[in-house]
Amino acid sequence: MINDIFRVFREQTAEILFEIITECIDDYLYIFDLQNNTFEISQSAVNRFNMSKNVLTDAANEVMKVVYEEDREMLAKHLADICEGRENVHNLHYRWLDKEGMPVWINCRGIVIIDQQGKAEYLVGCLNETGNKRRADNVTGLLGGPEFLAYLRAQKEPISKGFFMHVGIDDFGAINSSRGADYGNYILKSVAGCMKECLSDKQRIYHLVADQYVIVDLDASSTEDAVALKEKITDKLHNFIVDEKYEAIFSISIGVIDAATFCEGTEECRKKFEFALKQAKSMGKNGFYVFDQNDYEDFLQKGRIVAALRNAIVNNYEGFEVNYQPIVDCQTEQIIGAEALMRFSMITEEGREFVSPMEFIPLLEETGLIIPAGRYILNKAAAMCCEMQKYIPDFRMNVNVSYVQILQGNVERDILDAIQKYSLQPECLCVEMTESGFMDMTPSFCKFRKTLDKNGIPFVIDDFGTGYSNLHCIRDMNPSYVKMDRDFTAKAMNSDRDYELYKNIIPMVHSINVRICAEGIEEKEWLLKMKEMKVDYLQGYYFGRPCGKKQFLQQYASGINVK
C-alpha cells in the first residue's frame, strides 16, 4: 500500500499534488519561496481572506496586506530572522483579515528548507483558524454546526423539501447555575440522546452552541411531520424528567423553517433559522413556532425602525416631532393645558414615512433609546409651556414618562432641569404614566414619586379603566388626577351598562380627593354628559386633534373658548 501511494505521488506534477492535498485538508497549505519572493496558498484561502489570488509574486508586500496591521511588525521581524538563519521553524499566532476586513486569529506553522549554500530557500507549512468552531461536541456526542453545513452543501440536488428544526433548552442557564456545569453537561447529553431516539433514519441531529441543536429532515413533505416529531420529543423528554425524579424540570422551544430556505444563501437561512427559535421562545416555555414570512417582515421592519431611531437621535433628533392636544376645563370649556405627544417619521425608499407611536415607542423602551428621546421631548414640551404662558398664564403641559426612564435614567433630574431652564412653576409640568407602567412599587419608582411630591410636580395616571387600573392603584399612587381611557369613554357613551359603571366611578375617585380627565371626547353630546357627571377636565377630537407647535399656537394662544 505504501509503495502504491508513492507511485501515485510520483506520477503527479507538483502543481496537481498541491491541489490534491489542499482539497483533502481544512487547513490552508502554503509554499513561500523566500529567495524569489513568491507565495502560493490553497485556493480556499482566497475565498476566506482579503486576497484576490492564491499566487503572490511580490510576497513580502502582498502578504502583509492580508495581515492585521497590529501584527505586521511581529511577522516581518520573524521572517527576517528566518532569512538570516536565526530561525528554522515558523509557528506564530497572529491575525489575517477576512473579506469584510475583520481580523481572524490564525496559527501559521511551517518548516524552513535550506539550499546547498545553507540559506533559507522555502518556508512550507499550513495555516489554520484558531477560532474555528469545533466540528463535533464531546459532551453530547453530536457533530457540530460546520458538519451541518457540510451535509447540506454535499446534496447533489438543490434542497426542495423538508425542514430544519431549531431546538433550544428553556432556561438552561438556571440548571447550570443551580446544579453546576457537570450536571448541565449531563442534561445536554441526555436531551441529545432523547431526541436521537425519536429520529428516523432519514433525519439527522447536530449540536450547535451551548443549549441549541438542529434537526434536519430533507425528506418531509409538510410541517405536519415537524409537529409529529415535536410531540414525540416532548413525550420522550417528559419521561426522562420523571425518571430523574424531577431533579431538573425543563422544557424545550422549537422553531421550524423550510429546508429549501438554504437555497436562499447561508446567511439568509441563518437569519430565518435564528428568528424561528426566537419567536418560539417569545411564546414562553415549551414554545413551538413555524416560520411565517409576514412575521419575519414585521421583525425586519422593527429592525429598520430601530436603526432609524438611533440615526435620528445621533443626528440632532431629526424625524422626531412633538404634537400637542388641548386639555380643557369641563365646566367652562376653556383651555387649561395640553398633552405633549411624541411623533416620529423615517426616510424610506418611498420617501418620509410616518411611524405609529404604537410601533416606535415600545422599540424606544426596549432599546433604552427612550431616555435621550424622552429628554428631547421633555425640553420641547417645557419650552412650549413657557411660550403658551405668555397667553394663558396658568397653562399646564402634560408629559408622558416611561418606566424605563425611571429605571435606567434619571428622569426626575431631567424634569427638574427643564423646569429650571424654562422658569416654570413645578405645578405647570404634569407627569403622565400609564398604570401598567408601575405595577411594582420598586425603589426606583418610589424615589421618583417622592421627588415629584417633594417638588410639587403633579402626577397623572393615564388610561384609567384599562388593564390593571383600579381604586387601590389610585390610593397607592396618590395622583393629582386620573385620565379615563378614550376607549372606556367611547363604550360608556354607547352602552347603558358601561355608562352606569363610568358614572359611578367618578364620585368614588372624587371621594379620595382625586380629579378626573375624560379622554376621547368626540361629540357635543358626550361633552354634555361629562358636565352632568361633574368630570373635571376633558380631552378629545371635539376640542382639537394633536398638532404641531405652529398650528397649536395659531389656534389656542388667545386663550378663548376652544369651541
- pLDDT (0 to 100) of residue 4: 47
Tell me the pLDDT tens digit for each residue of 455-485.
Answer: 999 999 988 866 555 566 677 778 899 999 8
- pLDDT (0 to 100) of residue 137: 85
Average the pLDDT over 410-419 and give the result.
Answer: 94
Average the pLDDT over 97-105 and give the result.
Answer: 91
- pLDDT (0 to 100) of residue 8: 43
Lowest-pLDDT choice from 136-150, 203-217, 334-348:
136-150
Closest CA to 176 of 142, 210, 209: 210
Average the pLDDT over 132-137 and give the result.
Answer: 72
What cell numbers appear for 541 in the block?
Answer: 377630537
412 vs 137 pLDDT, higher one:
412
At 2, the pLDDT band (50, 70, 90 cuts) reads very low
At 186, the pLDDT band (50, 70, 90 cuts) reads very high
Output the CA torsion sign for 85, 90, 96, 99: positive
Closest CA to 166 of 272, 277, 270, 269: 277
Q: What is the 3-state secondary structure (H, E, C) of 396-464?
A: EEEEECCHHHHHHCCHHHHHHHHHHHCCCCHHHEEEEEEHHHHCCCCHHHHHHHHHHHHCCCCEEEEEE
Residues 6+ apart with CB under 8 A from 295: 279
Is 437 a residue whose pLDDT tops 60?
A: no
Lowest-pLDDT choice from 125-139, 233-247, 417-431, 477-491:
125-139
Average the pLDDT over 360-379 and give the result.
Answer: 95
Most confident of 133-137, 158-162, 436-440: 158-162
Is 154 a residue whose pLDDT tops 60?
A: yes
Centre a 10 Å sphere on the Cβ of residue 167 and count the other Cβ atoms it contains: 24
Lowest-pLDDT choice from 62-66, 171-175, 417-421, 533-537:
171-175
- pLDDT (0 to 100) of residue 176: 86
Lowest-pLDDT choice from 127-136, 142-151, 152-161, 302-311:
127-136
What cell numbers appear for 390 in the block?
Answer: 405668555
At 446, the pLDDT band (50, 70, 90 cuts) reads confident
Distance in angstroms (rounded) separating the CA atoms of residues 158 and 160: 6
At 100, the pLDDT band (50, 70, 90 cuts) reads confident
At 24, the pLDDT band (50, 70, 90 cuts) reads low
Do residues 423 and 387 touch, judged by C-beta distance below 8 A? no
Is 562 a residue whose pLDDT tops 70?
A: no
At 435, the pLDDT band (50, 70, 90 cuts) reads low
Do residues 381 and 397 touch, judged by C-beta distance below 8 A? yes
Tell me the pLDDT tens digit for each residue of 49-59.
Answer: 999 899 999 99
Closest CA to 546 of 327, 335, 376, 394: 327
207, 209, 211, 212: CA torsion to nearest 10: -60
Instruction: Write the burial class of residue 138 (CB in 10 Å: 0-12 exposed, 13-18 middle, 19+ buried).
Output: exposed
- pLDDT (0 to 100) of residue 6: 44
- Cα separations in angstroms, 83 against 29, 74, 119: 20, 15, 7
Average the pLDDT over 75-103 and give the result.
Answer: 91
Tell me the pLDDT tens digit for each residue of 306-352.
Answer: 999 999 999 999 999 999 999 999 999 999 999 999 999 999 888 89
Is 524 a residue whose pLDDT tops 90?
A: yes
Average the pLDDT over 260-265 and give the result.
Answer: 93
- pLDDT (0 to 100) of residue 483: 92
Note the pTM of the prediction, 2 decimals: 0.74
Residue environment code for 326-364, b if the CB has 16+ CB neighbours within 10 A, otherwise e: bbbebeeeebbbbbbbbbbbbeeeeeeeebeeeebbebb
At 444, the pLDDT band (50, 70, 90 cuts) reads confident
Pairing mode of beta strands 212-217, 459-464: unpaired
Closest CA to 280 of 125, 163, 166, 365: 166
Phi, psi of 414 (to 5 degrees): -60, -40
Distance in angstroms (rounded) separating the CA atoms of residues 281 and 258: 19
Is 60 a residue whose pLDDT tops 60?
A: yes
Average the pLDDT over 254-273 and give the result.
Answer: 94
At 526, the pLDDT band (50, 70, 90 cuts) reads very high
The 3-state DSSP class for residue 479 equals coil
Average the pLDDT over 495-505 and give the result.
Answer: 91
315 vs 12 pLDDT, higher one:
315
Closest CA to 482 of 513, 445, 451: 513
- pLDDT (0 to 100) of residue 434: 75
Distance in angstroms (rounded) separating the CA atoms of residues 212 and 17: 40
Tell me the pLDDT tens digit for each residue of 267-286.
Answer: 999 999 999 999 999 998 89
Distance in angstroms (rounded) separating the CA atoms of residues 129 and 127: 7
Pairing mode of beta strands 89-97, 212-217: unpaired
Pairing mode of beta strands 203-207, 163-169: unpaired
DSSP 71-131: GHHHHHHHHHHHHTTS--EEEEEEEEEBTTS-EEEEEEEEEEEE-TTS-EEEEEEEEEETT
Average the pLDDT over 165-194 and give the result.
Answer: 92
What does the mean pLDDT of the chain come to? 89
Using only C-alpha atoms, what is the Rg of the chain?
34
| Percentage of the chain lying above the pLDDT 70 cut | 91
Question: How many CA atoms lie less than 13 Å away from 11 in the CB half-sphere?
Answer: 6
